[in-house]
């Protein structure tokens, strides 16, 4: 065998070995805790994790453009609706795994097993107990009551978290009632929607409004923030879980799926099984103030201090199915 042929064979064999020992991850999440978990996975399995960070919309577009040539094995987003969109665009493939079925409750994974939740968070009402009587709070629907005129703070309807909240209300109440609700919410805005979830909480403390609609884990992040104002906001305001006498509070997930053209499918499944295992879920819970999807793992001490709550068990695939309708209703209602 001459040297040239030997070189080519060595290159090919090396490429195959390398391909069998990596998993390529496209992720919208950008937390240090995720990187730590990826390193633990590498140490336990010897499988190298290569990461590309971008927004979910950018990653989905990238997968579309790359087609069969994509190097991605995994897609991670912070919203069930984006995962549903990836599935609808034929960018994911179903994965059947006994471990995943055990680790992830049925309402926190796709009905056809195209994606699985990693963590979840509740979209709640945040209020200042010095200004608002908790007995005046009840449901998402009640936020449209004229008694809250000029008092509701929330971000734009272009935000995925608000779109999924609206989609959940469509699922439970129908489109017409949701439209009337959205109009009521708009009429009760304290200001034109702007900023992120943290900005809504800051605005409550600054008396720009009375009630903020936001995700729970932002309060945890603010509680331990290096910013003094954020710590003050988190230590002053309280969390209220809506609809506790009915369907429960709306929740959403960060979730994960195997790409349609994954070259390392076996590694990708091991990766998802690892991230939903009890050990990894404990790390998720402690590091980012999210709720673990694995029912055998408890939330962090700070998260538990907010109290237990009844969560809506609507299958989160439905949030994606109704996303387009939710956007149209928000537009019709004038929710900027």
Q: Which residues fall in the annotated binding site for Fe cation?
A: 30, 217-218
Residues tagged in the binding site annotation:
30, 217-218
H helices within the chain, ranges in order? Answer: 3-19, 32-45, 56-66, 80-88, 98-103, 160-173, 175-187, 197-205, 216-223, 228-236, 265-275, 278-288, 301-305, 317-321, 323-333
Task: Give the three-class secondary structure for 69.
Answer: helix
Cβ contact 239:216 at 8 Å: yes
Q: Strand locations in 101-244, DSSP E?
A: 116-127, 152-153, 211-215, 238-240
Cα three-residue angle 261-262-263, rounded to 5 degrees: 110
Q: Strand locations in 43-195, DSSP E?
A: 48-53, 74-77, 92-93, 116-127, 152-153
Cα 163 from Cα 324, distance rounded (Å): 9
Cα three-residue angle 124-254-39, rounded to 5 degrees: 130
């Amino acid at each position: 065998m001459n040297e040239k042929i030997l070189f080519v064979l060595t290159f090919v064999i090396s490429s195959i070995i390398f391909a069998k020992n990596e998993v390529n991850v496209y992720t919208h999440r950008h937390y240090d805790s995720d990187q730590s978990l990826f390193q633990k996975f590498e140490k336990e399995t010897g499988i190298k994790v290569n990461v590309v960070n971008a927004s979910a919309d950018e990653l989905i577009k990238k997968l579309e453009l790359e087609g069969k040539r994509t190097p991605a094995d995994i897609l991670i987003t912070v919203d069930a609706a984006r995962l549903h969109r990836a599935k609808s665009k034929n960018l994911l493939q179903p994965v059947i795994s006994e471990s995943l079925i055990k680790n992830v409750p049925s309402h926190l994974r796709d009905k056809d097993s195209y994606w699985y939740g990693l963590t979840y968070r509740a979209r709640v009402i945040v209020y200042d107990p010095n200004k608002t009587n908790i007995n005046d709070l009840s449901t998402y629907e009640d936020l449209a009551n004229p008694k809250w005129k000029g008092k509701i703070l929330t971000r734009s309807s272009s935000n995925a978290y608000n779109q999924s909240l609206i989609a959940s209300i469509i699922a439970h109440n129908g489109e017409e009632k949701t439209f009337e609700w959205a109009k009521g919410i708009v009429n009760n805005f304290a200001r034109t929607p702007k900023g992120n979830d943290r900005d809504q909480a800051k605005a409550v403390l600054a008396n720009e409004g009375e009630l903020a609609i936001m995700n729970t884990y932002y309060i945890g992040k603010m509680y331990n923030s290096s910013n003094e104002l954020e710590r003050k906001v988190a230590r002053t305001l309280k969390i209220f879980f809506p609809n506790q006498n009915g369907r429960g509070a709306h929740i959403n997930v960060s979730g994960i799926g195997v790409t349609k053209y994954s070259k390392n499918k076996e590694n990708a499944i091991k990766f998802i099984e690892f991230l939903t295992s009890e050990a990894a879920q404990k790390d998720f819970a402690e590091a980012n103030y999210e709720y673990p999807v694995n029912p055998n793992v408890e939330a962090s001490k700070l998260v538990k201090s907010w109290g237990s709550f009844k969560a809506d068990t609507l299958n989160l695939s439905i949030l994606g199915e109704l996303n387009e309708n939710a956007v149209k209703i928000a537009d019709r209602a004038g929710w900027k």
